[in-house]
Chain A
């Protein structure tokens, strides 16, 4: 456990965030604005890239930053497909498809866990954070 609750224990990146359009940059920007811990996340945009190029880009980013966690936006998305191919040869890595802002907020505060454990915990938190209010709720 961190002795200083204000200072993040992790200053280096712990995960990739990738998805359609500006999804990744937008979510990481939101995480930074809310927590100041956006530097734990590497946003990756894949506009105009082929499937092979997406896979190579994500793999390169993971290896460069030595991270083993990928968050993507959509189960059917190209980033998810590419990530699943990467995971096939990387037994210690984890992919969370369908990530949302509550997912990432939980992840950046889960300093006592390994990154893959934190990602799994964050996925459950993100799933539970969806609520319906108002008419019909």
Chain B
């Protein structure tokens, strides 16, 4: 079944991912792509404790994920790929094979403005998302499966569904 969801979520492994998406999609593995986490055994153990034992969790840097992705896509199980930021997802998109990206959560911090209750963007991040869309990638914001997917133009317009 390959990877069912390519998600940008700055909380990485958390309830919405493991339970909210994981249960209805019957997810069997998660690929977490983050350079900091990939370099830290402690961080990996932290996230590993957040997933149920029947779900496998794999860690990659952005560079190693690009070369590993074909293998995950050929995997017979159902998976989710997570990045914590737009730039990391862009590197994976540049590697090929990703035609849709889910914005699951980019939360408030300095320099960002609110676009939806779970999407806050800086000017640079807005440009990065527009650039991603210009490559032909369909970008929608959707925090949980039963929410309406919100198109990027609506997100950037700040139209809360």
Contact = CB atoms under 8 A, between A and B. Distances in A.
Are these two chains actual partners, yes or no? yes
Contacts of B49: 75, 84
B107 A49 contact: yes
Given A80-B50, A81-B46, A81-B50, A50 B15 contact: no
Given A76-B13, A78-B11, A81-B14, A48 B50 contact: no
B68 interface: no
A48 B13 contact: no
Given A75-B50, A76-B50, A81-B46, A48 B15 contact: no
B43 to A, nearest CB: 9
A47 B118 CA distance: 8
Interface residues of B, number: 22
A129 to B, nearest CB: 22
Contacts of A47: 117
Residue with the highest number of chain A CB atoms closer than 10 Å, among B10, B13, B14:
B14
Contacts of A88: 42
Interface residues of A, number: 18
Nearest to B14: A78
Contacts of B114: 48
A51 B10 contact: yes
A53 to B, nearest CB: 6
Given A51-B10, A53-B109, A81-B13, A76 B117 contact: no
Nearest to A47: B117
Contact of B108 (A48, A77, A78): A48
A49 B46 contact: no
Nearest to B84: A51
Contact of A81 (B19, B47, B118): B47
Contacts of B11: 50-51, 78, 81
B69 interface: no
Contacts of A52: 109
B107 A85 contact: no
A78 to B, nearest CB: 5
A78 B16 CA distance: 10
Interface string A53-95: 1000000000000000000001111101100110010000000
Interface of B: 10-15, 17-19, 42, 46-47, 49-51, 107-109, 114, 117-118, 120
12 contacts: A47-B117, A48-B108, A49-B107, A51-B11, A53-B109, A74-B19, A75-B49, A76-B17, A77-B14, A77-B50, A84-B49, A88-B42
